[in-house]
């Protein structure tokens, strides 16, 4: 039996790509559920967002332990159940992904976690996965990610633990997030040596303003390991929306200290992004559509994760799929000329310090 929304997906304009070296097809745009404890989303509100995205052809929905102190996983799971009960979708229609590393506490208090509540040890991977499935109220997720690299856990231990999760039927595939190319290579080579399942996908930041990993560091991995990509922050924390040209709008997330700390050079990034306004105007699309379509146009990217605080904002972002054909080689060259990409030395986001504090 085909769900009502599934029957209409062909008219949505969405198309799909394989997720790395797998047979799993994912929509070129997907919906992420990053939230903090102040967002106060309800399960019904999140269901409405998921339903809108699904009706536009989106099939991948991402979350993580710790998003909203567990509320994001709880809401996503409840929304999945509600959609099944109402005949909106079947579980088979959805690709649900979650991530393990930071532990169950919200990011605001992540430094208060115990020494084994975080990281990529076998203990935390197994316990964290079971906790996530309980919050999601699901028997399995489709993909489980190592949310950050853990320099204090041997990669072989992590590879074995992720394969244990798959062997238990708790996930079908596993991946990495914000890992270096060297770490991904070691994980793949370790899996091959042990006859285990490789990570098939990396979840990396990627936008016109953040290209280092996807367009430089990982370039040899796409062919050698057929690495897939789910990318996040395509609008560069809002810098590429055009909404910040005259300052920070009231109610914006950039008023949040957590976001300010993540992008201390935000004003400089907005100034760079504003150079793209004539390009968007010439193409007859918004700045956000230009930025999202540019990410989707990279064939190494399996899916571009979008987020939104309201259904209206989500619907605007979903329109970007219609603009992908406008991102021609000439348009890409024009963007490169306005915002040149210069590869940089590798950086970390400081997440390795979370476990170091216990040493």
User: pLDDT band at 276, cuts 50/70/90?
Assistant: very high
User: pLDDT band at 355, cuts 50/70/90?
Assistant: confident
Flag whether pLDDT at 288 surpasses 90: yes
Flag whether pLDDT at 278 surpasses 90: yes
| CB neighbour class for 143 (10 Å; exposed up to 12, middle 13-18, buried from 19) | buried
Flag whether pLDDT at 306 surpasses 90: yes
CATH code of the domain in which 25 resides: 3.20.20.100
Phi, psi of 287 (to 5 degrees): -60, -45
Domain contains 201: yes
How high is the mean pLDDT of the chain? Answer: 92
Q: What is the pLDDT of residues 153-184, one digit of tens each?
A: 999 999 999 999 999 999 999 999 999 999 99
Share of the chain above pLDDT 70, in %: 91
Per-residue pLDDT, 307: 93
Q: What is the pLDDT of residues 328-338, one digit of tens each?
A: 999 999 999 99
- Of the candidates 99, 17, 3, which has an alpha carbon nearest to the alpha carbon of residue 51? 3
Instruction: Please give the full DSSP string across 333-351, using - where no structure is assigned.
Output: HHHHHHS----------ST
Which residues belong to the active site? 67
* Strand spans (E) along the chain: 16-18, 25-27, 29-32, 60-62, 95-100, 141-146, 171-177, 201-205, 228-232, 303-306
CB 158 within 8 Å of CB 197? no
Distances (CA, A) of 73 to 37, 141, 203, 210, 351: 13, 11, 18, 27, 21
Per-residue pLDDT, 54: 99
For 129, the domain range is 4-235+300-306
Q: What is the pLDDT of residues 32-76, one digit of tens each?
A: 998 765 666 889 999 999 999 999 999 999 999 989 999 999 999
Domain contains 231: yes
Domain contains 85: yes
Cα–Cα dist 62/165, whole Å: 18
Q: What's the angle, vertex CA 228, arms to CA 226 and CA 233, rounded to 5?
A: 150
CB 133 within 8 Å of CB 76? no
Domain contains 118: yes
Per-residue pLDDT, 41: 80
Domain contains 251: no
Domain contains 327: no
Flag whether pLDDT at 5 surpasses 60: no
Domain contains 154: yes
CB 38 within 8 Å of CB 69? no
Domain contains 50: yes
Per-residue pLDDT, 259: 61
Per-residue pLDDT, 334: 99
CB 105 within 8 Å of CB 112? yes
Flag whether pLDDT at 251 surpasses 90: no
Work out how many domains the chain is built from and give that number. Answer: 1
Cα–Cα dist 298/312, whole Å: 26
């Amino acid at each position: 039996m085909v769900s009502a929304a599934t029957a209409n997906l062909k008219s949505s304009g969405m198309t799909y790509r394989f997720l790395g070296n797998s047979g799993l097809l994912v929509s070129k745009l997907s919906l992420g559920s990053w939230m903090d404890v102040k967002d106060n989303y309800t399960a019904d509100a999140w269901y409405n967002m998921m339903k809108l995205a699904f009706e536009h052809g989106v099939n991948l929905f991402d979350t993580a332990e710790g998003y909203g102190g567990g509320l994001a996983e709880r809401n996503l799971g409840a929304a999945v159940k509600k959609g099944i009960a109402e005949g909106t979708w079947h579980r088979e229609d959805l690709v649900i992904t979650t991530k393990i590393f930071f532990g169950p506490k919200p990011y605001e208090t992540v430094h208060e976690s115990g020494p084994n509540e975080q990281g990529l040890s076998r203990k935390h991977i197994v316990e964290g996965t079971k906790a996530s499935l309980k919050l999601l109220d699901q028997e399995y997720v489709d993909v489980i990610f190592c949310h950050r690299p853990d320099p204090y856990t041997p990669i072989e231990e992590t590879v074995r633990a992720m394969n244990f999760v798959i062997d238990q039927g708790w996930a079908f595939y596993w991946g990495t997030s914000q890992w270096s190319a060297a770490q991904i290579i070691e994980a793949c080579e370790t899996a091959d040596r042990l006859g285990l399942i490789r990570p098939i996908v990396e979840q990396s930041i990627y936008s016109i303003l953040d290209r280092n990993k996807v367009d430089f560091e990982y370039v040899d991995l796409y062919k050698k390991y057929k690495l897939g990509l789910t990318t996040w922050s395509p609008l560069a924390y809002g810098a590429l929306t055009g909404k910040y040209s005259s300052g920070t709008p009231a109610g914006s997330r950039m008023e949040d200290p957590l976001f300010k700390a993540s992008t201390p050079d935000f004003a400089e990034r907005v100034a760079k992004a504003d150079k793209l306004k004539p390009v968007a105007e010439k193409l007859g699309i918004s700045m956000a559509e230009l930025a999202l379509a540019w990410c989707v146009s990279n064939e190494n990217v399996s899916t571009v994760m979008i987020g939104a605080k309201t259904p209206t904002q989500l619907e605007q972002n979903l329109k970007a799929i219609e603009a992908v054909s406008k991102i021609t080689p000439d348009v890409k060259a024009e963007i490169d000329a306005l915002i040149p990409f210069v590869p940089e030395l590798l950086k970390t986001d400081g997440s390795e310090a979370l476990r170091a504090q216990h040493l």
